[in-house]
């Protein structure tokens, strides 16, 4: 687990530990927020999360140049992906003068950056209007780097990508670079699970599929006391153990992989908890007929769409005895009211365990959506904002955006 050990952050450069006075600070943020058809922000969470970093820099009498991507533009300018739509909200939140450069590089951006006064903010247009951004182009990164004299990365959501603005740019600031508060908090909190966690450590994995999560399972089997598996991915495990899963979700090509994970869990003395019973439906619909049955004996033509009450009870018991908890992925099709009970109960059990003193980390898009849906955000220890980045970090991979600041 060499890569994980690398990140002990004893010498982590954060914006609190360095002198940021009177500088032009180039900050990579994650302002990839959802917009409605009138270009209004429907969920400003990501912008709000970056405000403390921006304010801290402004308070040091420095100016801030913000760089971000928004959506997935194909090539060149597309109005619906323009960061100009974020300006009114940003001005209101920061209560300072926020300028806008309608191209992230070029003479106009250069001039605006050069003339930027202390305590002013300049927002650059969407980086991904240039394909050089995702390609990690060095020349493009250099042009961006020329706007400022210090680089801060606060975009944890893209830390697993070696893009121009997240990674490549850091080489132009060999000493003048640091993590923003979001990056620092994310890494510190994930490390609470990966490095010397309070024991017992329980991981709860759910969601639709094992594919994409198998590396996490393998890495976690070296670390956890308890591994709880629910959601659609449970059925590949149950079938690997000889169960009948009816027409539930299955990844046939991963049956061997699931089998190996079960064997590895035994070897490592990890308690692997698979659902005992499931709520089944005769079609994938909230209006379907439903029933309860053993997870190992689902009738033909029926599919498991949530964990059942015996399972909920068992999982709750394990969660409440845990001192550290990591949760990724819903226990069932929680978007439909008939199959949300398991996910809701598990979210509540995690909140209860947290109240009793456990450290709980929630990560991955759908578990975060579930925590928000059940209003439990303030009742768990930490909710990670970077789905993909968090999963790769837990897999034991080195994140290029993190390495670039540490180097």
In the block, tokens 């490592």 appear at 268
- Enumerate residues 10-49 that contact ligand AMP by CB under 6 A: none
Across 61-187, where does the E strand assignment appear? 63-67, 98-101, 121-124, 150-153, 177-179
The encoded tokens of residue 358 equal 């456990």
For 375-394, b/e burial (b = at least 16 CB within 10 A) is ebeebbbbbbbbbbbbbbbb
> Could you say which of 58, 159, 201, 333 contacts ligand AMP (CB under 6 A)?
333
> Which 3-state string (H, E, C) describes 221-285?
HCCCCEEEECCCCHHHHHHHCCCEECCCCCCHHHHHHHHHHHHHHHHCCCEEECCCEEEEECCCC
Q: How many CB atoms lie within 10 A of CB 358?
A: 23
| For ligand AMP, the closer CB: 73 or 329 | 329
- Interface with ligand AMP (CB under 6 A), residue from 305, 380, 399, 405: 305
Regarding 330 and contact with ligand AMP (CB under 6 A), the answer is yes
Exactly one of 23, 28, 46, 239 is catalytic; name it: 46
Q: Which x/- pattern, by CB under 6 A, does the window 362-401 give for ligand AMP?
A: --x-x-----------------------------------
Nearer to ligand AMP, 127 or 245 (CB): 245
200-219 footprint of ligand AMP as x/- string (CB under 6 A): -------xxx----------
Q: Which is nearer to ligand AMP, 149 or 335 (CB)?
A: 335
Q: Which of 326, 249, 324, 237 is nearest to 275 (CA)?
A: 237
Binding mask 219-258 for ligand AMP (x = CB under 6 A): ------------xx----------------x---------
Residue number with the smallest Cβ distance to ligand AMP: 207
Contacts of 119 (CB under 8 A, 6+ apart): 58, 61, 62, 63, 96
CA dihedral in degrees (337, 341, 347, 353; nearest 10)?
A: 160
Q: What are phi and psi of 281, to 5 degrees?
A: -135, 150
Active site residue 209: yes
Contact flag: residue 280 with ligand AMP (CB under 6 A): no
197 binds ligand AMP, rule: CB under 6 A? no
State the minimum distance, in angstroms, from the CB of residue 161 to ligand AMP.
19
Distances 323 to 204, 221, 328, 355 between C-alpha atoms, Å: 13, 17, 17, 11
Residue number with CB closer to ligand AMP (184 or 342): 342
Task: Reply yes or no on whether 46 is catalytic.
Answer: yes
Q: Are strands 303-307 and 324-328 parallel, antiparallel or unpaired?
A: unpaired
Residues 155-194: x where in contact with ligand AMP by CB under 6 A, - otherwise, as a string: ----------------------------------------
Residue of 55, 84, 119, 209 marked catalytic: 209
Alpha helices, DSSP H only, in 107-222? 107-114, 131-135, 138-145, 181-194, 214-221
Residue of 365, 373, 379, 387 marked catalytic: 365
Among 45-53, 122-130, 137-145, 324-332, which window interacts with ligand AMP (CB under 6 A)? 324-332
Active site (catalytic) residues: 46, 209, 365, 388
Contacts with ligand AMP by CB under 6 A lie at: 207-209, 231-232, 249, 304-305, 329-330, 332-333, 335, 364, 366
């Amino acid at each position: 687990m060499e890569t994980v050990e690398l990140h002990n952050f004893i010498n982590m450069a954060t914006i609190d530990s360095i002198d940021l006075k009177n500088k032009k600070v180039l900050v990579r943020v994650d302002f990839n927020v959802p917009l409605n058809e009138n270009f209004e922000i429907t969920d400003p969470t990501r912008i709000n999360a970056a405000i403390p970093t921006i304010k801290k820099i402004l308070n040091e009498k420095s100016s801030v140049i913000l760089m971000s991507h928004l959506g997935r533009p194909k090539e060149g300018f597309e109005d619906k992906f323009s960061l100009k739509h974020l300006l009114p909200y940003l001005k209101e939140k920061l209560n300072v003068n926020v300028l806008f450069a309608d191209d992230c590089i070029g003479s106009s951006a250069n001039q605006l950056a050069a003339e930027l006064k202390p305590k002013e903010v300049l927002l650059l247009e969407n980086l991904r209007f240039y394909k050089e951004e995702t390609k990690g182009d060095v020349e493009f990164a250099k042009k961006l780097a020329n706007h400022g004299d210090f680089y801060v990365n606060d975009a944890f959501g893209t830390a697993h990508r070696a893009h121009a603005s997240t990674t490549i740019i850091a080489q132009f600031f060999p000493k003048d670079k640091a993590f923003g508060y979001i990056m620092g908090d994310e890494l510190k909190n994930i490390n609470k699970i990966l490095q010397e966690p309070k024991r017992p450590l329980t991981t709860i994995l759910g969601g639709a599929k094992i594919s994409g999560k198998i590396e996490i399972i393998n890495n976690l089997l070296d670390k956890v006391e308890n591994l709880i598996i629910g959601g659609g991915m449970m059925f590949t495990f149950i079938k690997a153990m000889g169960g009948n899963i009816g027409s539930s979700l299955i990844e046939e090509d991963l049956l061997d992989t699931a089998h190996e994970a079960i064997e590895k869990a035994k070897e490592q003395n990890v308690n692997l908890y698979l659902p005992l019973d499931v709520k089944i439906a005769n079609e994938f619909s909230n209006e379907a007929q439903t029933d309860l049955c053993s997870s190992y004996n689902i009738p033909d033509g029926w599919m498991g769409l949530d964990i059942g009450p015996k399972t909920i009870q068992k999982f709750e018991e394990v969660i409440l005895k845990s001192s550290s908890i990591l949760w990724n992925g819903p226990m069932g099709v929680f978007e439909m009211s008939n199959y949300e009970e398991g996910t809701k109960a598990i979210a509540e059990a995690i909140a209860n365990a947290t109240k009793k003193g456990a450290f709980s980390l929630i990560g991955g898009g759908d578990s975060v959506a579930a925590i928000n849906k059940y209003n439990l955000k303030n009742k768990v220890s930490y909710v990670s904002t970077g789905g993909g980045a968090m999963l790769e970090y837990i897999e034991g991979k080195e994140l290029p955006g993190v390495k670039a600041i540490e180097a």
